[in-house]
């Protein structure tokens, strides 16, 4: 059994969070969910066991009480990084992809990602509108993310080449490509998050390769 940290960002695909949580746990893993504020709009964690869900408000709990940091307070994003054997970010929205590529750390999830040991598995499942997926910035950001995990990229301006290079590299970064579907906005095209089972299988494969 492994400890899996499931990062959830503000894509409509976050509605599948309960289903994905169940699929990961069905493989015998302990799973905790760290969600951005935007992600919380799309799923209801009511009934989840205590400690399953982590939000930005949990990072520095004294702040909510109007108090200040004390030296003995735990640093949650570091505690989560120490706890987890693998980091799964699904869905990975366009905004968070840009943050990861730039090395930004402005919420609990991106702090975990920035503090992550790049020798340990990271599985990301992008999800966004087709035009966002096809935007030149997406290609650059995916290439940068891959490079941060040691993936050699020959064609940075070709998203398919970036995905193929990541798959061929067999390193610690796994990108589970989006699929063609009718999106929440009504557009039909490439950008919908991969099926839950595909993400769960990718996570298991990444763990098995360590």
- Which residues are known to be catalytic? 185
User: What span, in angstroms and rounded, lies between the C-alpha atoms of 63 and 48?
Assistant: 24
User: What span, in angstroms and rounded, lies between the C-alpha atoms of 51 and 31?
Assistant: 10
Q: Tell me the three state secondary structure of residue 195.
A: coil
Burial 38-63 (b: 16+ CB within 10 A, else e): bbbebbeeeeeeeeebbbbeebeeee
DSSP class of residue 41? G
Cα 130 to its chain centre, rounded Å, is 19
Report the run of H or E that residue 98 belongs to, with start and end: helix 94-102
User: CA end-to-end span of the chain, whole Å?
Assistant: 14
């Amino acid at each position: 059994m492994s400890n899996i940290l499931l990062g959830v960002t503000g894509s409509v695909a976050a509605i599948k969070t309960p289903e994905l949580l169940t699929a990961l746990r069905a493989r015998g893993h302990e799973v905790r969910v760290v969600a951005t504020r935007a992600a919380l709009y799309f799923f209801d964690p009511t009934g989840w066991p205590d400690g399953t869900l982590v939000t930005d408000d949990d990072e520095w709990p004294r702040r909510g009480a109007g108090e200040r940091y004390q030296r003995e307070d735990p640093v949650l994003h570091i505690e989560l990084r120490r706890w987890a054997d693998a980091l799964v970010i699904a869905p990975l929205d366009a905004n968070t992809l840009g943050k990861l590529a730039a090395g930004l750390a402005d919420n609990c999830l991106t702090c975990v990602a920035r503090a992550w040991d790049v020798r340990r598995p990271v599985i990301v499942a992008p999800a966004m509108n087709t035009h966002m997926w096809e935007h030149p910035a997406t290609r650059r950001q995916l290439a940068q993310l891959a490079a941060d995990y040691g993936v050699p990229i020959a064609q940075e301006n070709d998203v398919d080449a970036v995905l193929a290079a990541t798959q061929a590299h067999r390193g610690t970064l796994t990108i589970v490509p989006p699929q063609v579907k009718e999106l929440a906005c009504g557009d039909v095209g490439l950008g919908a998050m991969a099926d839950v089972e595909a993400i769960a299988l990718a996570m298991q494969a990444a763990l098995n390769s360590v």
